[in-house]
Each structure stands twice: as C-alpha cells, then as structure tokens.
Amino acid sequence: MATIKTKLSVGIFVIIGFIIAFLAIIWVGMSHYFEQGRLYSAYFNDSVQGLSKDSPVKFRGVTIGRVSEIAVAPDGKLIEVVLKIESDMKPDENIVAQLRSVGITGIMFVELDLKKNGESNLSPPLGFVPKHTAINTKPSEITRFMDSISDVITQINKVDFEGLSVKTKATLDKINSAVNEAKIENFSSDIKESLEKWNTAITSVGDAAGVFKTFTLNTDNTVSNLNNAVTKIDAIITGNKDSVAQAIKNLNHAVENAESLVIDGKEFIRNSDQNFSSMQQQILSTMQSLEKTSETLNRSVDQISDQPSLLLFSSPQPEKEMEKD
C-alpha cells in the first residue's frame, strides 16, 4: 500500500514538474526574457490605432527591434511608445520616428529614418521627464494629410463668398451697362472694314510674293546662263591657250607702245605749249602795232574830214580875214 502511494506521489510530482517547466518555457518565450536590447521612448501626438506590443521597429525597412510597451504619457495628452532596439544602432537627434501602416490592413509599425536637411523638428513638446532616452518623432503621413485638408478647409471658410458674390454681380452689371451703351453696330462695321483692309493687304502681299518668286526664277535663269557662259569661256580659253597667251603678249606689247606714244605726246604738247606761248607774244606785239596804226589812221581821217584840202595841199590854207563894216 505504501509502495502505491509513493509511486502515485512521484508520478504527480513529475507531472507537476513537467507542467511547470512547460509553462516556464512558454513564459520565457513570450516575455523575451533573455533577449538583449536598449530601451528608448517615443512620444506621438496622434492615434496609435493598429500598433500593438511586439510590433516591429524598422530602420528604412530593416527590422531592428520591437515595441516593448504602449501607454499614455504622464501629461495625459501624448502616447508613450517604448521601443526596444536590439541591433547595434544607437538612435541620436538625427533619427526621427514615425508611425507607418502596412497596406490596407491597418496594422502599424514604427519607422525610423534620418532627418532630411532643413526639415524642422515636429516632435511635440514634453512637459515631463521621459522614462528612457527620447527619440524625435513626427506625425504620420495620414495625420499630415488630414491636417493639410483641415488647413485648406479653414482657409476656404475664411473666404467671404457672400461679399465676393456681391462684387462679382456689381461688376457684371457694370459690364452689361457698358456693352449696352457702346455702339456695337459701328464697332462691328469698323472691325469689318479693318478685316477687309487686312484681306486687301494680304492679297497685295501675295501678289508681291508671286512677283518676287518670278524675279527669283528669272535671276536663277540669269545666273544659270552666266554659269554656262563662263563655262564656255573657260572651254574656249582652255582650247586656245596658246592663242590667248600670244594675244595677251601682243596686248602687253601694244600697251607698252601706247605708253611710249603717250610719253611722246606729252613731250609734243609741252613743246607746243612753249611754241604757242612765243607765238602768242608775237601776235600780241603785232596787235599792239596794228592798234597804234589804227589810231594813226583814225586821226588822219578825222583831220581830212575837218580839212579836205589836206589831200591837195600839204599845209592848210590861210584863213580869210573878215571884212570890217
């Protein structure tokens, strides 16, 4: 009888030991008791719906830890998320934490990334001392998108649509009055006349373009004929090269003779000038003699006219004495 009790006690003890060992293994596995890591605190000012304990912590898509604890911060406004970083990475002030969602499932995780150049610090201010080293945070993309929409709606609500409508209506009324007062018919006739003038000018330009085109074709033909003539001249010169050379030689000889002739002509003209000057002096002397002779003849004629007896007598007759009464 004692033997049966002993065996039963041993069996129960062994079973209880196995149960305790099994529960201990499960507890150690669930609590990550033997895992090593450093704890950091991240404080978010938006909803953490979808984020749970043991959610992954990633750095640019690479898992480097997990969420250790989620609770409300001591100020009662922010959400405190304790991160357990299991890699060798040590987040500093250039690291920013942000909540990200996985697809459309709504499951969230914490994404760590480097702060961009010039990016402002969007972390909510803390009015208490954090439990662990605090990591900078920024709102999630969904929160920022919703905030932008809220800002746009706020700006739209600030617009005075009623006043804008009144001003628009007044402006349209003024435009309508101006249109009614304007002489639309005269304006239309002026536009029509202007269009007709433009059509006439365009037609003239078209005619001028046709004339210019004809002139261009004639010019092309003339240039073509000149090219043909030059080609023929080149052919003639090429075929009569010796004759042309002899003609050029004769021409050079003729030019030299002409140059000699010109020199002789210059010498002849210079001698002629000298002879002409001498002859001019002689003619001048002769003319002076003739002038003197002419003066002498004139005096003689005058004397004969006054005293015709000079033709018969060498001396004039004595004058008769007047009889005295």
- Tens-place pLDDT, residues 170-205: 888 777 777 666 555 565 666 777 777 777 877 776
Residue 36 has pLDDT above 70, yes or no: no
pLDDT, residue 43, reads 92
The pTM (predicted TM-score) of the whole model is 0.40
**pLDDT: which is higher, 303 or 19:** 19
Residue 325 has pLDDT above 50, yes or no: no
Please give the Cα distance from 53 to 108 (Å, whole number): 11
pLDDT, residue 317, reads 54
Q: What is the CA radius of gyration of the chain?
A: 67
* Alpha-carbon separation of residue 263 from 43, 193, 256 (angstroms): 118, 76, 11
What are the pLDDT digits (tens) for 100-148?
888 777 788 999 988 888 778 888 888 888 888 888 888 887 776 777 7
b/e string for 20-52 if b means 16 or more Cβ within 10 A?
Answer: eeeeeeeeeeeeeeeeebbebbbbbbbebeebe
Q: What is the DSSP string of 47-64?
A: --TT--TT-EEEETTEEE
**pLDDT: which is higher, 230 or 76:** 76
Question: Residue ranges per domain, the chain?
Answer: 36-140
What are the pLDDT digits (tens) for 143-176?
767 777 877 887 787 777 777 777 887 888 777 7
Please give the Cα distance from 166 to 162 (Å, whole number): 6
